Amino acid sequence: MPGLKDICSSLFARSAAADTLPRGGKLLVAQPFLDENYFSRSVVSLLDYDPQGGAMGVVLNHPSVSRLADLVDDCDVRADVPVYCGGPLALDRLFFMHTLGAELIPGARPYMPGMYVGGDFDAVLDYLNSGYAVEGRVRFFVGYSGWDEGQLESEIAEGTWALTESPADVSELLQGADDAFWHRAVRLLGDEFRSWRLVPRMVCAN
């Protein structure tokens, strides 16, 4: 006999099936029973999407135990900057997203209006060490999330992820963490997904 998790997962899969394609700048919101290590209660910002080449993104809301100063050698990081777990791939690489723009951070790549990825690390380090705001402006990640051709589309069709647009104020993508961040993203999905917010965290645990 199927258990509660199996029954509810099937219901969520049907409600979460998306009728739009992924694209860079959209958010993937994990369904509440997804209990994989990196993706439980996760919200992923899609950085790149190619129907013939797969997709790449970063988990926005899972802080790591590390601070930026712990991870960079030969750099004077005077600010106390958290680092987030971007996903299970390339765990030896550091990524950053920001709203600072290419004029302030040369080489930054816009992937949606108002949001950038990467750029000159010395420039962002100067920004941090000058005492400017971190929350809502810049966020660092170890690793990223990736999908092969057709893989993400299959997971969306199965209900693993729900797709939504990023908030109008993109700085919200770089504010908050953990379950509160996930609940905020679920609200962006609309009333159809209200039941997701009612699933207690302990039900999702192994």
Mean pLDDT, rounded, of the chain: 88
What digits encode the pLDDT tens for the residues 60-69?
999 999 999 9
pLDDT higher than 90, residue 35 = no
- Report the amino acid identity of residue 139: R
| Domain-wise residue ranges, the chain | 4-59+152-168+179-195, 63-145
Give the number of C-alpha atoms closer than 13 A to the C-alpha of residue 23, restricted to the C-beta side. 6
pLDDT higher than 80, residue 146 = yes
Q: Which fold has domain 63-145?
A: VC0467-like (3.40.1740)
How much of the chain, in percent, has pLDDT values that exceed 90? 76
Mean pLDDT of 151-176: 95
- Provide the H-helix boundaries in 17-145: 68-71, 121-129
pLDDT of residue 90: 95
The CA-atom distances, in angstroms, between 107 and each of 10, 103, 122 are 44, 9, 11
How much of the chain, in percent, has pLDDT values that exceed 70? 88
What digits encode the pLDDT tens for the residues 70-104?
998 878 888 899 999 999 999 999 999 999 999 99
What pTM did the predictor assign? 0.88
Q: What's the CATH class of domain 4-59+152-168+179-195?
A: alpha beta
